[in-house]
Each structure stands twice: as C-alpha cells, then as structure tokens.
C-alpha cells in the first residue's frame, strides 16, 4: 500500500521516509539506502548536517530506481557553510547527483533566531522554490513561536515541519501539531519509536502491547509495538521518518499502513499514558530543555 499525504503546495509526500541521520550520521549510507529503496522505500530523508549526502546520492544511483519515482529531502545545516542558502543547496545537489530535491528544510531555527535571520532565511527558501531547485520547502524543529515569526511575512507557507514526535512529548508536541494542522502544514515525525527504543519500560508499554495484540488478531499477522506507534502517527496524518539497516524491519515498517486502524479508545489511551511522562531525546537546545 503506497500511502501519501497531500502537501499545501499540491504535491504528495510518501508517508514513510528512510532517514540517513542518527544511525548513519557521518557514515557511508550507500548500502543502507540502496537496500531501503529495493525493499520498497521511495522517500529518502537526508541533511547537510548528516555529512553523508554523497553516499545517499550513490545509494539512489545504485538502486536503479528512476529519479522520478523517488522523493528526496535534504536540510540546511544550523550554520550554513556558504554565503547564501541557495549556494548550500547547490553544493548538496552536486553531492547528491541530483538536479532538484523534492523537499528542502531549514533543519533548525536556533542559529537563525539568535541572529535575527529567521525571516530572511525563509525569503531565501521561497526563492529556491521559485527557481525549482526544491519542489517543496519547509522547516524542522520549529516551535509555534518560530512558525509565527516566518508566517508574518511568508508568501509561501511551509509545506512541512519535521519534529521529534511521539507520545512522550505529546504535552508540548500536540501544541505544535494543532497549530500546524490549522495552518495546513504537514508534520513529519522523527524519533517516533523512542518510547520503545530509548525509554522502554514506561507507562506506554502495556497500552502498545494490548493494541498490538488486537491488531494481530484482526489482521492475522504479527504486529509490533513499533507498528502501533507508527499507526498512531499515520492516523494523525503525520509522516513517519525512521531508519533501519535490517530489511525485515523496513518491510515491517512498510506494512504498517495496511494494518487495521487503531480505535478511538486506543488512540486516547496512547495519548493519556504518553502525557504522564516527558522525554525529549533530540534538539533539546531548540526547546530550552
């Protein structure tokens, strides 16, 4: 099942993205990217900060899948390494071996906010979209306040805001989620499996286990707690960015979209239990944590 979400600029984004950060940071991602694409992933999520754009491009090339069938993202590093944002993207495109990216994001508002450049950065992003170097533009790790600043003068509303999102930061995450929904900005989640990968043994575990058991019974196939978390995100209309070097895990992730839906009670239980704990694992400096 190839599920996509519609962005506010008329393009579509595949619901599942393969991230080349965290586990692949500063590492050669060629084989991992190639394996992901050959397993059925079409959405690749890279960044200048990950220091592996060349190998992401090589993995795309080696996969043998035509460029037009893939959705490629890269992100502007916190402190741009070229005089203009466009120049940084041109360097990225060269490394990736591509003429354009489908999505270009400001990776973090931290430096731009400190230097009072958030609005001017966004103006440069709008130019990049106009020139076709990126089909869509968006942001990452932006709070409601950061979004409000750029929206004051924006002629293009960000297509997405990619943030760490899982039930253990639903207390603050839900505010960003609600604001973005109101403005037609799609949320992309990274670190979505953190409650089971980085904080096992928490209040959420039994709720996820019960939901997994019911879905397994209903679908006649094994269902993991990770799939329940991803299903929760899908039903919220959130794009899931994840990574794995195991083909079996990628297949499991891809099959999540076709599982039966979580019930309203299950969604409510996930959020209720999530709200009892606050655990952020990434970009804490942006959120003053």
104: nearest Cα among 87, 113, 115, 114: 87
Is there a catalytic annotation at residue 50? yes
Catalytic residue among 50, 71, 168, 190: 50
The answer to whether 107 is a known ligand-binding residue is yes
Supply φ then ψ for residue 197, to 5 degrees. -85, -45
Task: Provide long-range contacts, Cβ within 8 A and 24+ apart, for 23-30.
Answer: 23/243, 23/244, 23/245, 24/50, 24/52, 24/243, 25/50, 25/51, 25/52, 26/50, 26/51, 26/52, 27/52, 27/55, 28/52, 28/55, 29/55, 29/56, 29/59, 30/55, 30/58, 30/59, 30/62
Strand 239-242, strand 16-19: pairing: parallel
Instruction: Give yes or no for a contact between 164 and 196, defined as CB atoms under 8 angstroms apart.
Output: no
Binding residues for substrate, by number, are 107
- Residues recognised as catalytic: 50
Binding residues, by number, are 107
């Amino acid at each position: 099942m190839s599920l996509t979400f519609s962005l506010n600029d008329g393009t579509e984004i595949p619901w599942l993205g393969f991230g080349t950060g965290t586990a692949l940071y500063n590492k050669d991602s060629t084989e991992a990217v190639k394996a992901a694409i050959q397993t059925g992933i079409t959405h690749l999520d890279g960044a200048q900060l990950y220091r592996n754009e060349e190998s992401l491009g090589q993995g795309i090339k080696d996969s043998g899948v035509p460029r037009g069938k893939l959705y490629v993202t890269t992100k502007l590093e916190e402190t741009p390494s070229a005089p203009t944002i466009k120049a940084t993207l041109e360097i990225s495109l060269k490394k990736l071996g591509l003429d354009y990216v489908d999505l270009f994001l400001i990776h973090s508002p931290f430096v731009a906010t400190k230097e009072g450049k958030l609005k001017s950065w966004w103006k440069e992003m709008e130019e990049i979209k106009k020139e076709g170097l990126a089909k869509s533009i968006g942001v990452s790790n932006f709070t409601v306040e950061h979004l409000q600043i750029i929206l004051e003068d924006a002629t293009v509303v960000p297509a997405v805001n990619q943030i760490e999102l899982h039930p253990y930061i639903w207390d603050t995450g839900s505010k960003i989620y609600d604001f973005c929904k109101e403005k037609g900005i799609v949320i992309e989640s990274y670190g979505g499996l953190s409650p089971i990968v980085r904080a096992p043994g928490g209040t959420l575990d039994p709720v996820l286990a019960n939901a997994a058991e019911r879905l397994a019974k209903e679908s006649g196939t094994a269902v993991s707690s990770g799939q329940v978390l991803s299903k929760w995100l899908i039903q919220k209309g959130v794009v899931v960015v994840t990574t794995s070097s195991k083909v079996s895990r990628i297949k499991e992730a891809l099959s999540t979209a076709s599982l039966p839906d979580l019930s309203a009670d299950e969604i409510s239980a996930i959020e209720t239990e999530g709200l009892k704990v606050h655990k952020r694992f990434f970009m804490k400096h942006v959120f003053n944590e």
